[in-house]
Structure 1
Amino acid sequence: MRLVFLLLLFYHAIGLGQFVNLNESDFSKADSISFSYKGHSLRNLPVLTYKLTKDLTKDVEKFRAIFTWVCTNIENDYQSYLKTRKKRKRIQKDRAGFLEWNQSFTPKVFEKLVSEKRTACTGYAYLIKEMANLAGFQSKIVNGYGRTPTLLLSENDPPNHSWNTVQLDDQWYLCDATWAAGRIMLDADGPRFEADYDDVYFLPNPELFAKNHYPLESELSLLEELPTLTDFIVAAVIYKASFRFGIAPILPEKMHQEVLRDVSTSFELKIPEGLDVKKFRLALNNGGKDVEVQPKIIFLGPGKIQMDYTFNRTGLYDTHIVFNGDKIATYVVKVRRN
């Protein structure tokens, strides 16, 4: 308990988690440097880190160059993920044992990463930490639960994901290189990695990040208060566009909802000021294709809106909140008779 308390004091003293507004930041130079070293060997990490950061002055730019290089040069290895998941499942009830195993396991992962440039999330997180440390930044590996539209969780599931915290200019930030690098496609011929770098998981808003990342050590969420794991598991599913536009679902708190036909149903969102709310839609799917409908928009105050819609037919609906054509979040709504 004393260690947790000291960690909480430490994070509070230096400032809780921050995030970078990507729309207001110019990382073109950092990204250009990263791309210029595409394919560079991992055999000498100090040299690679120096090359990526030597011509940049700001800490956030230096870390951006590291993050972009890792995300665009390392392939996500699904088979390694499955092996790691099996081990995690065997020791999931021993939290201290899990953390100890994970710490000893990461160097072994790194050996394969250096030779093949392929790894699972543990390897991504280890590489980010090592290169950040070499650049003079503190960084930690965070172990916990990741939740995606195709990766739902139950209370009995073992921890399934790893990501990082990093300290830049006396502030702590979050990042997830694994999810930023691309996606695993489950085809008929087996799983394959599809590279698709997206920087929405580069120093994101901690409050939004906590909607699909749940750390085993709550202080590493960089939030003053973290929801319970149960609340995390049953909440609405969110998509990358949620990070891109800075839109966070607030209510309902649970993804699965039961409502009455011909009675208004509400969805509450936190949005950036100045966002064009006319671009919001609901996309309903009752077993066929998505059908977009126009909800009623109500302003609840600065940075907060409510979307109202009345279902006039019974049934089970995948109900997607859509902004400018991109899915933000999904609820499953069961509509029954009055």
Structure 2
Amino acid sequence: MKYKNSKVFIKSLILATSVLFTSNILMAEATEVKQEDAIQKTYNDFEENQYWTNDMLWAMDKGLISGYLNSKHPVTGKLGNWLNPYGNLTEGQLLTILFRYKSPDELNNTKAESNFWASVPYQLAKKYKLPVKGSLTNQSPAGKAVTRGTMAKVIASLYFGKEVTEEQAINFMYQGKLSNGYKDKNGNYPMTVESFGSKDPLKRAHIVTFIKHYDDLIQSGDKINYEDIIQLKDTLLYDAILNALLKAESVLDYSRFTQDFNEVYDTVYEVLKDHPEIIYFKSIPLGTDSSVGFNYSYPKSEIIEMNNKLEKLTDEIIAEQIQPGMNEFEKVKAIHDYVVLNSAYDYENYKNNTIPKLSYTVYGLLVNGTAVCDGYAKTMFYLLNKIGIETLYVVGKGHGEDHAWNKVKIDGLWYNLDATWDDPVPNLEGYVRYKYFLISDSKLREDHIWDNSELPDASNSTYSYIPEFFSPSDLFGDKNRNIVLHEGYFYFINQTNIFKMKTDGTNKKSLLSVKNGYLSNFVINEGWIYSLTSEDNGPKYITKMKTDGSDKQTIYSIEKGTISKFSINEDWLLIVTSNGLIKMKSDGTSKELYENVQAYNVILYNQGIYYNDLSNNRQLTRINMDGTNKQMLGDIAMDFVIYEDWIYYLGESYHLFKIKLDGTQKTKLTNFNTENLRLSGSTLFYMETYPEFKMHRLELE
């Protein structure tokens, strides 16, 4: 039902309630208003686009609630027609509305036992054993404002057929999706007993929303078990402890959840087990029968800063690595590869027995880029569970030493994953191993020992082909090169073919075959595969085809000279040749040759082409998109990346520098030998090769 303006026209029988306030006691009488008399009536305080708007219309259409016709507004005294959505609801009105919904015939046909205006609703409340304050002998609560907590108890008790506690009732409201409670200061719904606002007065707008959501639950056919709302009590305690630890609160009042300190103590350590990002917790001093204290390793301000930094980085990682449409295998591989590529095993401290505490943590790996096995396993646990992949943290021994890794659930089956042992030591930038990626228990037991009695079995060998598929000899030799995972399929080059294969190793087929030459590179962009082919003693050319192998077409070829590399930037194809730089649209149109550009690395950015000029000792250079206005930016660049208005590059003595896009504000960033620049989101990764050998990361925002 939709209304084009704020005037609501009544299309059904409405019970208009005239309200009389006497000695602060709300008395109500029901007056029947015929449809023909009411249809042209409007309400002055109806509002569109409120949380209650559609639910109010639904409730009025069902005859559950009505407005006040030609009456004084209960607050302002102004004469008019009022819905009064923000007015308080009384207990008698709550019961009347509830039974209008639940048992309208019974409400209408039950004989009143007294002249009390709410006699029948209270008679039915007694019959159904609803926890209300009023009765036929105690009539005053019928005209007094009722609380949200009482409303929750009444609705939940009616649903289960027996009286429930307020806490259980609030659990029912959450689990049945009748309410999310109130938002916290960060705009989130903590969904705790406290955030429900049980002592707040129930508004008329509240009740229509709650009854509508109750109706949605009934109509859906979903069932809420009584045992579930009891168990949810543990969830509320868990959430309260988690919230306190994340905010580094020193004390938590747990009296509204339980009176058992041992339960609180056990739940604290359950939270810590599930949330390895809480790295700063130290201990629990003695608690009382209503509160528990927490000791931390850092000051609160420092903890909040660390949490904010980790949360921001986590959000960036997930946004960058996890794309819509990814299957579970792709998600696990993306996180595995990120962890391995963006971290280094803390080998020097391991050798010297000086491993810092942070190297055992999620923070140490993600923020500092350095960790030992504990940090790797906790980070995989943290990130994978964040994106909905069920993951376990496992401890045991590897090669006879204490070790940690993970079990991961993909498509209902469990596998082992050891990201630590997939990261080479010493670190090799840009290199990922897959020897311990999604392997079975039997395979892992070749060099790992653990107690599997309380862990799920990992007996499936679906991905047993992965280690060989990604092995160094395959990757750098003539077998499998340039492997790309895209929409549930692997695409890879086997020297003379581009293959497509499902991630479980099945359905392998050739998309493109070269008879007299070899394939050296390909990229996938917007559903198309672009590949570079070099014929023996013949032309070099770039082919374009769809990801199913159809619609093959050659979009560029060169008879003399070489093509060293190509890339796609902003729908432009940039091709580095021995004859110069070719710029063309990815569909093969708008082709231009810039003979004066002899490049090693090329980046298209903000209508400019940036490259390190091979004809001029790799000078960092810029030209316009049309090839004009060549500018030397004033320094040698062995490699470079661009982020916003800055170029980060390896300059003289292989030190890291940054410079503005116009060549100004040159700044030296490192005093050590640096290699392997890589930009991931707003984070720059680079490897120190002398005097030490370790990875560094720089937040560019």
> TM-score band, normalised by the shorter chain?
0.3 to 0.5
- Give the TM-score taking structure 2 as reference length: 0.20
Q: Which has the larger radius of gyration?
A: 2
Which structure carries more helix by proportion?
1
> More relative contact order in 1 or in 2 (CA 8 Å, sep 6+)?
1
